[in-house]
Structure 1
Amino acid sequence: MEIVEVMIEAARKAGKILKSGYESNYDIKVKSSSSDLVTSVDIDSQNAIIEVLKKVPDISIMAEESQDKQTDTKRIFYVDPLDGTLNFVHGIPFFGVSIGYWENETPIAGVVYDPLRNELFYGIKGKGAYLNDKRLSARKKELKDSILSTGIPYDRQKIFRTIEETKNILPLVQEVRILGSAALSLCYLAAGRIDGYWEDEIYPWDVAAGIAISTEIGLKITNFDGKRYELKDREIVCTLPKIHGEILKALNFKFA
Protein backbone atom coordinates (compact mmCIF):
# COMPACT_ATOMS: atom_id res chain seq x y z
CA MET A 1 0.00 0.00 0.00
CA GLU A 2 1.38 3.42 -0.95
CA ILE A 3 1.93 5.99 1.77
CA VAL A 4 -0.78 8.29 0.44
CA GLU A 5 -3.30 5.43 0.55
CA VAL A 6 -2.51 4.92 4.23
CA MET A 7 -2.89 8.67 4.81
CA ILE A 8 -6.30 8.66 3.10
CA GLU A 9 -7.40 5.66 5.17
CA ALA A 10 -6.35 7.50 8.33
CA ALA A 11 -8.09 10.72 7.30
CA ARG A 12 -11.37 8.96 6.49
CA LYS A 13 -11.29 7.02 9.75
CA ALA A 14 -10.73 10.24 11.69
CA GLY A 15 -13.37 12.00 9.63
CA LYS A 16 -16.00 9.53 10.84
CA ILE A 17 -15.07 10.41 14.41
CA LEU A 18 -15.39 14.14 13.71
CA LYS A 19 -18.72 13.71 11.96
CA SER A 20 -20.21 11.59 14.73
CA GLY A 21 -18.86 13.95 17.38
CA TYR A 22 -20.12 17.12 15.74
CA GLU A 23 -22.89 18.73 17.82
CA SER A 24 -22.71 15.90 20.37
CA ASN A 25 -21.42 16.04 23.94
CA TYR A 26 -17.66 16.13 24.43
CA ASP A 27 -15.07 17.50 26.83
CA ILE A 28 -13.38 20.84 26.06
CA LYS A 29 -10.12 22.19 27.48
CA VAL A 30 -8.43 25.57 26.98
CA LYS A 31 -4.80 25.53 25.80
CA SER A 32 -2.88 28.78 25.20
CA SER A 33 -5.87 31.14 25.06
CA SER A 34 -9.66 31.23 25.15
CA SER A 35 -9.76 30.63 21.39
CA ASP A 36 -7.18 27.81 21.45
CA LEU A 37 -9.20 24.76 22.43
CA VAL A 38 -8.86 21.01 22.42
CA THR A 39 -11.77 18.59 22.69
CA SER A 40 -12.03 14.90 23.44
CA VAL A 41 -12.94 14.52 19.76
CA ASP A 42 -9.51 15.94 18.79
CA ILE A 43 -7.87 13.29 20.94
CA ASP A 44 -10.00 10.42 19.64
CA SER A 45 -9.35 11.53 16.06
CA GLN A 46 -5.62 11.78 16.66
CA ASN A 47 -5.44 8.32 18.23
CA ALA A 48 -7.28 6.84 15.25
CA ILE A 49 -4.92 8.55 12.79
CA ILE A 50 -1.79 7.42 14.60
CA GLU A 51 -3.05 3.84 14.76
CA VAL A 52 -3.40 3.76 10.96
CA LEU A 53 -0.19 5.67 10.17
CA LYS A 54 1.85 3.19 12.20
CA LYS A 55 1.29 0.74 9.34
CA VAL A 56 4.11 2.64 7.62
CA PRO A 57 7.44 1.89 9.35
CA ASP A 58 10.28 4.29 10.08
CA ILE A 59 8.30 7.53 9.80
CA SER A 60 7.95 9.83 12.80
CA ILE A 61 4.59 11.37 13.67
CA MET A 62 4.28 14.96 14.87
CA ALA A 63 0.70 15.60 15.95
CA GLU A 64 -0.84 18.79 17.32
CA GLU A 65 -2.29 17.27 20.47
CA SER A 66 0.80 15.22 21.39
CA GLN A 67 3.03 16.35 24.23
CA ASP A 68 6.22 15.55 22.32
CA LYS A 69 6.54 17.73 19.23
CA GLN A 70 10.30 17.26 18.79
CA THR A 71 11.72 14.87 16.22
CA ASP A 72 15.08 14.63 14.52
CA THR A 73 14.11 12.19 11.81
CA LYS A 74 13.98 13.12 8.14
CA ARG A 75 10.65 11.43 7.35
CA ILE A 76 7.71 12.88 9.24
CA PHE A 77 3.92 12.81 9.24
CA TYR A 78 2.44 16.13 10.41
CA VAL A 79 -1.03 15.56 11.85
CA ASP A 80 -3.81 17.93 12.81
CA PRO A 81 -6.66 15.65 13.90
CA LEU A 82 -9.21 18.48 13.94
CA ASP A 83 -8.20 21.64 12.13
CA GLY A 84 -10.83 24.23 12.94
CA THR A 85 -11.59 23.19 16.51
CA LEU A 86 -13.17 26.54 17.39
CA ASN A 87 -15.53 26.22 14.42
CA PHE A 88 -16.33 22.67 15.50
CA VAL A 89 -17.15 23.71 19.08
CA HIS A 90 -19.44 26.52 17.93
CA GLY A 91 -21.30 24.41 15.39
CA ILE A 92 -19.74 26.11 12.37
CA PRO A 93 -19.47 23.42 9.66
CA PHE A 94 -15.93 24.21 8.50
CA PHE A 95 -13.25 21.89 9.87
CA GLY A 96 -11.32 18.84 8.79
CA VAL A 97 -8.50 16.34 9.19
CA SER A 98 -5.03 17.26 7.95
CA ILE A 99 -2.13 14.83 7.36
CA GLY A 100 1.07 15.90 5.63
CA TYR A 101 4.11 13.77 4.82
CA TRP A 102 7.50 15.46 4.37
CA GLU A 103 10.98 14.11 3.70
CA ASN A 104 14.07 16.22 4.36
CA GLU A 105 11.98 19.40 4.70
CA THR A 106 10.27 18.72 1.35
CA PRO A 107 6.52 18.10 0.95
CA ILE A 108 5.88 14.65 -0.47
CA ALA A 109 2.15 14.11 0.08
CA GLY A 110 -0.78 15.82 1.73
CA VAL A 111 -4.32 14.73 2.60
CA VAL A 112 -7.07 17.00 3.96
CA TYR A 113 -10.55 15.62 4.54
CA ASP A 114 -13.75 17.58 5.19
CA PRO A 115 -16.11 14.93 6.59
CA LEU A 116 -19.28 17.04 6.47
CA ARG A 117 -18.95 17.71 2.73
CA ASN A 118 -17.17 14.42 2.05
CA GLU A 119 -14.46 16.37 0.22
CA LEU A 120 -11.08 14.68 0.09
CA PHE A 121 -8.21 16.89 -1.06
CA TYR A 122 -4.86 15.26 -1.69
CA GLY A 123 -1.60 15.91 -3.47
CA ILE A 124 1.40 13.75 -4.30
CA LYS A 125 4.78 15.12 -5.33
CA GLY A 126 5.10 14.93 -9.10
CA LYS A 127 1.63 13.42 -9.53
CA GLY A 128 -0.66 16.41 -9.07
CA ALA A 129 -3.36 17.56 -6.67
CA TYR A 130 -6.93 16.28 -6.53
CA LEU A 131 -10.37 16.85 -5.04
CA ASN A 132 -12.27 13.55 -4.85
CA ASP A 133 -10.14 12.23 -7.74
CA LYS A 134 -10.76 15.28 -9.94
CA ARG A 135 -7.40 16.80 -10.83
CA LEU A 136 -6.93 20.41 -9.78
CA SER A 137 -5.13 22.89 -12.01
CA ALA A 138 -3.69 26.37 -11.79
CA ARG A 139 -5.56 29.41 -13.07
CA LYS A 140 -4.97 33.14 -13.40
CA LYS A 141 -6.86 36.00 -11.81
CA GLU A 142 -6.32 39.71 -11.38
CA LEU A 143 -5.61 40.97 -7.87
CA LYS A 144 -8.69 43.21 -7.84
CA ASP A 145 -10.92 40.19 -8.49
CA SER A 146 -9.31 38.01 -5.83
CA ILE A 147 -10.66 36.71 -2.53
CA LEU A 148 -8.09 36.09 0.20
CA SER A 149 -8.25 34.29 3.53
CA THR A 150 -6.38 34.88 6.76
CA GLY A 151 -6.52 33.79 10.39
CA ILE A 152 -6.55 35.40 13.82
CA PRO A 153 -3.49 34.60 16.00
CA TYR A 154 -4.01 32.93 19.37
CA ASP A 155 -1.47 35.43 20.73
CA ARG A 156 -3.67 38.48 21.28
CA GLN A 157 -0.66 40.80 21.00
CA LYS A 158 -0.37 39.84 17.33
CA ILE A 159 -3.98 40.61 16.47
CA PHE A 160 -3.28 44.28 15.85
CA ARG A 161 -0.75 43.41 13.18
CA THR A 162 -3.28 41.13 11.46
CA ILE A 163 -5.78 43.99 11.50
CA GLU A 164 -3.23 46.31 9.87
CA GLU A 165 -2.35 43.66 7.29
CA THR A 166 -6.02 43.27 6.41
CA LYS A 167 -6.47 47.04 6.16
CA ASN A 168 -3.57 47.17 3.70
CA ILE A 169 -4.81 44.28 1.58
CA LEU A 170 -8.56 45.01 1.48
CA PRO A 171 -8.32 47.97 -0.95
CA LEU A 172 -6.40 45.78 -3.39
CA VAL A 173 -8.72 42.78 -3.55
CA GLN A 174 -12.40 41.91 -3.84
CA GLU A 175 -12.70 40.60 -0.26
CA VAL A 176 -10.90 39.01 2.70
CA ARG A 177 -12.38 36.11 4.65
CA ILE A 178 -11.49 34.46 7.96
CA LEU A 179 -12.45 30.82 7.45
CA GLY A 180 -11.10 29.29 10.66
CA SER A 181 -9.09 26.40 9.21
CA ALA A 182 -5.61 26.79 7.76
CA ALA A 183 -5.71 23.36 6.11
CA LEU A 184 -9.03 23.94 4.37
CA SER A 185 -8.04 27.49 3.42
CA LEU A 186 -5.05 26.11 1.52
CA CYS A 187 -7.24 23.46 -0.10
CA TYR A 188 -9.85 26.03 -1.12
CA LEU A 189 -7.02 28.01 -2.66
CA ALA A 190 -5.84 24.95 -4.58
CA ALA A 191 -9.43 24.30 -5.72
CA GLY A 192 -9.91 27.87 -6.97
CA ARG A 193 -12.47 28.89 -4.36
CA ILE A 194 -10.15 31.57 -2.98
CA ASP A 195 -7.01 33.09 -4.46
CA GLY A 196 -4.64 33.66 -1.57
CA TYR A 197 -4.03 32.92 2.10
CA TRP A 198 -1.76 34.42 4.71
CA GLU A 199 -1.36 33.98 8.45
CA ASP A 200 1.01 35.22 11.15
CA GLU A 201 0.95 32.39 13.70
CA ILE A 202 1.12 29.01 12.05
CA TYR A 203 2.60 25.59 12.86
CA PRO A 204 3.72 22.62 10.74
CA TRP A 205 0.67 20.47 11.48
CA ASP A 206 -1.58 23.34 10.35
CA VAL A 207 -0.13 23.66 6.86
CA ALA A 208 2.10 20.68 5.98
CA ALA A 209 -0.68 18.87 4.10
CA GLY A 210 -2.07 21.99 2.43
CA ILE A 211 1.38 22.99 1.21
CA ALA A 212 1.92 19.56 -0.35
CA ILE A 213 -1.39 19.97 -2.19
CA SER A 214 -0.84 23.61 -3.20
CA THR A 215 2.70 22.97 -4.43
CA GLU A 216 1.41 20.49 -6.99
CA ILE A 217 -0.59 23.13 -8.88
CA GLY A 218 2.20 25.69 -8.83
CA LEU A 219 1.01 28.09 -6.16
CA LYS A 220 3.59 30.44 -4.68
CA ILE A 221 4.36 29.71 -1.02
CA THR A 222 6.71 31.89 1.04
CA ASN A 223 7.19 33.54 4.39
CA PHE A 224 6.58 37.28 4.77
CA ASP A 225 10.14 37.99 3.57
CA GLY A 226 9.40 36.31 0.26
CA LYS A 227 11.70 33.37 1.00
CA ARG A 228 10.59 29.80 0.38
CA TYR A 229 8.39 28.66 3.26
CA GLU A 230 10.10 26.31 5.71
CA LEU A 231 8.43 24.40 8.51
CA LYS A 232 10.27 26.46 11.12
CA ASP A 233 8.53 29.61 9.83
CA ARG A 234 5.62 30.91 11.89
CA GLU A 235 4.17 32.95 9.02
CA ILE A 236 2.99 31.93 5.57
CA VAL A 237 1.81 33.53 2.35
CA CYS A 238 0.32 31.28 -0.33
CA THR A 239 -1.22 32.80 -3.45
CA LEU A 240 -1.59 32.58 -7.18
CA PRO A 241 1.89 33.42 -8.54
CA LYS A 242 0.65 36.48 -10.43
CA ILE A 243 -0.52 38.32 -7.30
CA HIS A 244 2.12 37.15 -4.82
CA GLY A 245 4.45 40.12 -5.10
CA GLU A 246 1.72 42.68 -4.52
CA ILE A 247 0.40 40.77 -1.51
CA LEU A 248 3.88 40.58 0.03
CA LYS A 249 4.35 44.30 -0.51
CA ALA A 250 1.08 45.01 1.31
CA LEU A 251 2.07 42.74 4.21
CA ASN A 252 5.55 44.19 4.69
CA PHE A 253 4.63 47.57 6.10
CA LYS A 254 6.31 49.19 9.08
CA PHE A 255 4.47 48.20 12.23
CA ALA A 256 5.63 49.55 15.58
Structure 2
Amino acid sequence: MEFFTKTAVDAAVLAGKHLLSEYKRHHIEVYGVDTLSVGNRGLTKEITSIRDHEADQIIKDLISDRHPEHNLLTEETGLVDNGSPYTWVVDPLDGSSNYVNHNPFFAVSICLAYNNQPITGVIFAPLIEELAVARKGQGCTVNGRRVSVSDTGALSKSYSVGCPGGDKTNRRFSKMSYALNENIKDFRKMGSAAIEAYVVAAGRVDSFVTLNISPWDIAAGALCVEEAGGKVTNFQGEPWDMTKSDVCMTNGVIHEDVLKTIQLVNPKSEEYSDNSLIG
Protein backbone atom coordinates (compact mmCIF):
# COMPACT_ATOMS: atom_id res chain seq x y z
CA MET A 1 0.00 0.00 0.00
CA GLU A 2 2.96 2.32 0.52
CA PHE A 3 3.59 2.38 -3.23
CA PHE A 4 -0.05 3.34 -3.84
CA THR A 5 0.24 6.14 -1.30
CA LYS A 6 3.38 7.42 -3.02
CA THR A 7 1.49 7.50 -6.32
CA ALA A 8 -1.35 9.47 -4.74
CA VAL A 9 1.05 11.94 -3.10
CA ASP A 10 3.13 12.38 -6.25
CA ALA A 11 0.04 12.95 -8.41
CA ALA A 12 -1.55 15.38 -5.94
CA VAL A 13 1.63 17.41 -5.50
CA LEU A 14 2.38 17.52 -9.24
CA ALA A 15 -1.15 18.69 -10.07
CA GLY A 16 -1.22 21.03 -7.09
CA LYS A 17 2.02 22.74 -8.08
CA HIS A 18 0.65 23.29 -11.57
CA LEU A 19 -2.54 24.79 -10.14
CA LEU A 20 -0.54 27.03 -7.83
CA SER A 21 1.67 28.27 -10.64
CA GLU A 22 -1.35 29.20 -12.75
CA TYR A 23 -3.12 30.68 -9.73
CA LYS A 24 -0.23 33.06 -9.16
CA ARG A 25 -0.36 34.10 -12.79
CA HIS A 26 -4.06 34.91 -12.23
CA HIS A 27 -5.06 33.93 -15.75
CA ILE A 28 -7.95 31.49 -15.71
CA GLU A 29 -10.41 30.52 -18.40
CA VAL A 30 -13.76 29.31 -17.14
CA TYR A 31 -15.73 26.65 -18.97
CA GLY A 32 -19.39 27.44 -19.55
CA VAL A 33 -21.79 28.54 -22.24
CA ASP A 34 -19.22 31.09 -23.35
CA THR A 35 -15.51 31.44 -22.65
CA LEU A 36 -14.97 33.23 -19.35
CA SER A 37 -18.58 32.64 -18.31
CA VAL A 38 -19.94 30.61 -15.45
CA GLY A 39 -21.11 27.14 -16.44
CA ASN A 40 -23.93 25.48 -14.52
CA ARG A 41 -22.86 22.26 -12.87
CA GLY A 42 -25.56 21.76 -10.27
CA LEU A 43 -25.60 24.98 -8.27
CA THR A 44 -25.17 28.06 -10.44
CA LYS A 45 -22.14 29.12 -8.41
CA GLU A 46 -20.32 25.89 -9.30
CA ILE A 47 -17.89 26.24 -12.16
CA THR A 48 -15.21 24.31 -13.94
CA SER A 49 -12.14 25.94 -15.41
CA ILE A 50 -9.46 24.95 -17.86
CA ARG A 51 -7.24 24.34 -14.81
CA ASP A 52 -9.58 21.59 -13.58
CA HIS A 53 -9.02 19.74 -16.83
CA GLU A 54 -5.28 20.36 -16.88
CA ALA A 55 -4.92 19.02 -13.33
CA ASP A 56 -7.16 16.08 -14.22
CA GLN A 57 -4.90 15.14 -17.13
CA ILE A 58 -1.75 15.43 -15.01
CA ILE A 59 -3.18 13.05 -12.43
CA LYS A 60 -4.58 10.57 -14.96
CA ASP A 61 -1.30 10.42 -16.85
CA LEU A 62 0.74 9.66 -13.73
CA ILE A 63 -1.67 7.06 -12.34
CA SER A 64 -2.16 5.38 -15.71
CA ASP A 65 1.59 5.18 -16.19
CA ARG A 66 2.18 3.47 -12.84
CA HIS A 67 -1.06 1.48 -12.55
CA PRO A 68 -2.47 1.01 -16.06
CA GLU A 69 -4.73 -1.84 -14.96
CA HIS A 70 -6.59 0.22 -12.34
CA ASN A 71 -9.94 1.96 -12.79
CA LEU A 72 -10.19 5.75 -12.74
CA LEU A 73 -13.12 7.86 -11.55
CA THR A 74 -12.54 11.59 -11.81
CA GLU A 75 -14.90 14.54 -11.60
CA GLU A 76 -13.90 15.83 -15.02
CA THR A 77 -13.62 12.54 -16.95
CA GLY A 78 -16.05 10.16 -15.27
CA LEU A 79 -15.38 6.44 -14.93
CA VAL A 80 -12.72 4.55 -16.86
CA ASP A 81 -13.54 0.93 -16.00
CA ASN A 82 -10.71 -1.53 -16.56
CA GLY A 83 -12.37 -4.28 -14.55
CA SER A 84 -10.00 -3.88 -11.60
CA PRO A 85 -10.94 -4.07 -7.90
CA TYR A 86 -8.81 -0.91 -7.52
CA THR A 87 -10.37 2.45 -8.39
CA TRP A 88 -8.73 5.87 -8.13
CA VAL A 89 -11.31 8.46 -7.11
CA VAL A 90 -10.13 11.95 -8.02
CA ASP A 91 -11.17 15.56 -7.71
CA PRO A 92 -8.38 17.40 -9.52
CA LEU A 93 -9.46 20.82 -8.24
CA ASP A 94 -11.78 20.87 -5.26
CA GLY A 95 -12.89 24.43 -4.62
CA SER A 96 -12.98 25.62 -8.22
CA SER A 97 -15.03 28.69 -7.32
CA ASN A 98 -12.45 29.67 -4.72
CA TYR A 99 -9.69 29.11 -7.25
CA VAL A 100 -11.11 31.31 -10.00
CA ASN A 101 -12.07 34.00 -7.47
CA HIS A 102 -8.51 33.94 -6.12
CA ASN A 103 -9.36 32.59 -2.68
CA PRO A 104 -6.83 30.26 -1.02
CA PHE A 105 -9.04 27.31 -0.06
CA PHE A 106 -8.69 24.86 -2.94
CA ALA A 107 -7.17 21.40 -3.04
CA VAL A 108 -6.41 18.27 -5.01
CA SER A 109 -8.14 15.17 -3.63
CA ILE A 110 -7.06 11.63 -4.56
CA CYS A 111 -8.35 8.39 -3.05
CA LEU A 112 -7.63 4.78 -3.93
CA ALA A 113 -10.46 2.37 -3.18
CA TYR A 114 -10.26 -1.42 -3.16
CA ASN A 115 -13.64 -3.06 -3.78
CA ASN A 116 -15.22 0.35 -3.12
CA GLN A 117 -13.49 0.72 0.25
CA PRO A 118 -11.03 3.64 0.56
CA ILE A 119 -7.54 2.43 1.47
CA THR A 120 -5.41 5.48 0.68
CA GLY A 121 -6.41 9.14 0.73
CA VAL A 122 -4.39 12.25 -0.07
CA ILE A 123 -5.45 15.90 -0.01
CA PHE A 124 -3.03 18.61 -1.08
CA ALA A 125 -3.90 22.28 -0.52
CA PRO A 126 -1.04 23.99 -2.36
CA LEU A 127 -1.55 27.63 -1.41
CA ILE A 128 -1.84 26.93 2.32
CA GLU A 129 0.93 24.35 1.96
CA GLU A 130 -0.78 21.41 3.64
CA LEU A 131 -0.69 17.75 2.69
CA ALA A 132 -3.06 15.34 4.42
CA VAL A 133 -2.33 11.62 4.01
CA ALA A 134 -4.35 8.68 5.32
CA ARG A 135 -3.84 4.94 4.94
CA LYS A 136 -6.32 2.33 6.07
CA GLY A 137 -5.36 1.12 9.51
CA GLN A 138 -2.33 3.40 9.72
CA GLY A 139 -3.73 6.77 10.77
CA CYS A 140 -3.72 10.22 9.24
CA THR A 141 -0.98 12.84 9.00
CA VAL A 142 -0.91 16.49 8.00
CA ASN A 143 2.51 17.59 6.73
CA GLY A 144 3.97 14.42 8.21
CA ARG A 145 2.59 14.94 11.70
CA ARG A 146 0.08 12.43 13.08
CA VAL A 147 -3.27 14.09 13.76
CA SER A 148 -6.44 13.13 15.61
CA VAL A 149 -9.95 14.49 15.87
CA SER A 150 -10.96 16.85 18.66
CA ASP A 151 -12.26 15.68 22.02
CA THR A 152 -15.05 18.27 22.18
CA GLY A 153 -17.91 16.58 24.01
CA ALA A 154 -20.65 19.22 24.05
CA LEU A 155 -22.48 20.24 20.90
CA SER A 156 -22.84 23.77 22.30
CA LYS A 157 -19.05 24.13 22.39
CA SER A 158 -18.41 22.72 18.94
CA TYR A 159 -17.49 24.26 15.60
CA SER A 160 -18.87 22.95 12.33
CA VAL A 161 -18.12 23.43 8.65
CA GLY A 162 -20.32 22.52 5.73
CA CYS A 163 -21.28 22.89 2.10
CA PRO A 164 -24.39 22.35 -0.05
CA GLY A 165 -22.64 19.67 -2.10
CA GLY A 166 -24.64 18.68 -5.15
CA ASP A 167 -28.00 20.10 -4.11
CA LYS A 168 -29.61 22.10 -6.90
CA THR A 169 -30.55 24.95 -4.56
CA ASN A 170 -29.34 26.33 -1.25
CA ARG A 171 -32.64 25.61 0.48
CA ARG A 172 -31.68 22.53 2.50
CA PHE A 173 -28.23 23.90 3.22
CA SER A 174 -29.72 27.14 4.57
CA LYS A 175 -32.06 25.22 6.87
CA MET A 176 -29.25 22.92 8.02
CA SER A 177 -26.82 25.73 8.77
CA TYR A 178 -29.56 27.68 10.57
CA ALA A 179 -30.39 24.67 12.77
CA LEU A 180 -26.74 24.02 13.55
CA ASN A 181 -26.03 27.68 14.31
CA GLU A 182 -28.68 27.62 17.01
CA ASN A 183 -26.98 24.73 18.78
CA ILE A 184 -23.23 25.07 18.25
CA LYS A 185 -20.47 27.61 18.81
CA ASP A 186 -20.17 28.59 15.15
CA PHE A 187 -20.80 27.32 11.63
CA ARG A 188 -18.45 28.09 8.74
CA LYS A 189 -18.28 27.45 4.99
CA MET A 190 -14.82 27.15 3.44
CA GLY A 191 -15.74 26.29 -0.15
CA SER A 192 -13.73 23.07 -0.43
CA ALA A 193 -15.21 19.80 0.83
CA ALA A 194 -11.80 18.13 0.83
CA ILE A 195 -10.33 20.79 3.11
CA GLU A 196 -13.44 20.85 5.29
CA ALA A 197 -13.04 17.10 5.80
CA TYR A 198 -9.37 17.04 6.71
CA VAL A 199 -9.70 19.91 9.17
CA VAL A 200 -12.08 17.64 11.09
CA ALA A 201 -9.38 14.96 11.03
CA ALA A 202 -6.85 17.49 12.29
CA GLY A 203 -9.08 18.47 15.23
CA ARG A 204 -9.50 22.08 14.07
CA VAL A 205 -13.28 21.79 13.85
CA ASP A 206 -15.60 19.19 15.34
CA SER A 207 -17.92 18.32 12.46
CA PHE A 208 -18.49 18.63 8.72
CA VAL A 209 -21.89 18.23 7.07
CA THR A 210 -22.66 18.21 3.38
CA LEU A 211 -25.55 17.38 1.07
CA ASN A 212 -25.86 15.13 -1.97
CA ILE A 213 -22.09 15.00 -2.27
CA SER A 214 -20.20 13.02 -4.93
CA PRO A 215 -17.57 10.47 -3.86
CA TRP A 216 -14.64 12.26 -5.52
CA ASP A 217 -15.27 15.30 -3.29
CA ILE A 218 -14.97 13.45 0.01
CA ALA A 219 -13.52 9.95 -0.44
CA ALA A 220 -10.01 10.96 0.63
CA GLY A 221 -11.37 13.21 3.36
CA ALA A 222 -13.63 10.51 4.75
CA LEU A 223 -10.65 8.18 5.15
CA CYS A 224 -8.67 10.98 6.82
CA VAL A 225 -11.44 11.49 9.39
CA GLU A 226 -11.87 7.80 10.13
CA GLU A 227 -8.14 7.21 10.44
CA ALA A 228 -7.89 10.20 12.80
CA GLY A 229 -10.44 8.57 15.10
CA GLY A 230 -13.59 10.24 13.83
CA LYS A 231 -16.87 8.97 12.45
CA VAL A 232 -18.35 9.23 8.94
CA THR A 233 -21.97 8.32 8.14
CA ASN A 234 -24.91 9.33 6.02
CA PHE A 235 -27.72 11.28 7.70
CA GLN A 236 -29.38 8.01 8.82
CA GLY A 237 -26.27 7.18 10.81
CA GLU A 238 -25.29 4.38 8.42
CA PRO A 239 -21.63 3.97 7.39
CA TRP A 240 -20.75 6.11 4.40
CA ASP A 241 -20.09 4.34 1.11
CA MET A 242 -18.86 5.40 -2.31
CA THR A 243 -22.20 6.75 -3.48
CA LYS A 244 -23.65 10.23 -3.79
CA SER A 245 -25.35 11.07 -0.51
CA ASP A 246 -25.78 13.40 2.45
CA VAL A 247 -22.74 12.96 4.70
CA CYS A 248 -21.82 13.80 8.28
CA MET A 249 -18.23 13.65 9.58
CA THR A 250 -17.48 14.34 13.23
CA ASN A 251 -15.05 13.68 16.06
CA GLY A 252 -17.37 10.79 16.97
CA VAL A 253 -18.24 12.18 20.39
CA ILE A 254 -20.88 14.62 19.16
CA HIS A 255 -21.94 12.59 16.13
CA GLU A 256 -25.41 11.62 17.35
CA ASP A 257 -26.12 15.16 18.52
CA VAL A 258 -25.16 16.60 15.13
CA LEU A 259 -27.31 14.03 13.32
CA LYS A 260 -30.27 14.77 15.58
CA THR A 261 -29.94 18.49 14.89
CA ILE A 262 -29.97 18.12 11.09
CA GLN A 263 -32.76 15.57 10.67
CA LEU A 264 -35.12 18.33 9.52
CA VAL A 265 -33.23 18.32 6.19
CA ASN A 266 -33.03 14.52 5.87
CA PRO A 267 -35.77 13.40 3.44
CA LYS A 268 -35.64 9.88 4.95
CA SER A 269 -36.40 11.15 8.45
CA GLU A 270 -39.82 11.56 10.06
CA GLU A 271 -38.63 14.99 11.19
CA TYR A 272 -38.01 16.15 7.63
CA SER A 273 -39.77 19.37 6.72
CA ASP A 274 -39.93 20.90 3.25
CA ASN A 275 -41.39 24.16 4.50
CA SER A 276 -39.69 27.52 4.43
CA LEU A 277 -36.52 28.25 6.38
CA ILE A 278 -38.45 29.25 9.49
CA GLY A 279 -41.34 26.85 8.93
TM-score range, shorter chain: over 0.9
Q: Distance in 2 between matches of 1:36 and 1:70?
A: 24
Indicate conservation of the 8 Å contact 1:161/1:255, yes or no.
no
Indicate conservation of the 8 Å contact 2:72/2:80, yes or no.
no
Map of 2:273 onto structure 1: 255
Q: Does 1:127 align with 2:138?
A: yes
Q: Does 1:12 align with 2:13?
A: yes
Q: Distance in 1 between matches of 2:57 and 2:249?
A: 30
Map of 1:77 onto structure 2: 88
Indicate conservation of the 8 Å contact 2:94/2:192, yes or no.
yes
CA RMSD of aligned residues (A): 1.5
Question: 1:58: how far off?
Answer: 2.2
* Structure 2 runs not aligned, ≥5 long: 32-38, 265-271, 275-279
Map of 1:239 onto structure 2: 250
State the secondary structure of the residue aligned to 1:200: strand
Match 1:152 to one of 164, 175, 192: 164
Q: Does 1:42 align with 2:52?
A: yes
Give the TM-score taking structure 2 as reference length. 0.87
State the secondary structure of the residue aligned to 1:242: coil
Q: Does 1:143 align with 2:155?
A: yes
Task: Tell me the number of residue pairs that the alignment of Structure 1 and Structure 2 aligns.
Answer: 254
Q: Percent identity?
A: 30
1:31-82 residue CA offsets vs partner (Å, 9 max, x unmatched): 424312111111111111111112124211101011x337464311111010
Matches for 1:44-123 after TM superposition, within 5 Å: 44-54=54-64, 55-66=66-77, 68-69=78-79, 71=81, 73-123=84-134
Indicate conservation of the 8 Å contact 1:35/1:154, yes or no.
no
Q: Distance in 2 between matches of 1:105 and 1:145?
A: 35
* Structure 1 runs not aligned, ≥5 long: none
1:193-251 residue CA offsets vs partner (Å, 9 max, x unmatched): 11100111210100011111111122111001111111114210000111010111111
Question: 1:107: how far off?
Answer: 1.3
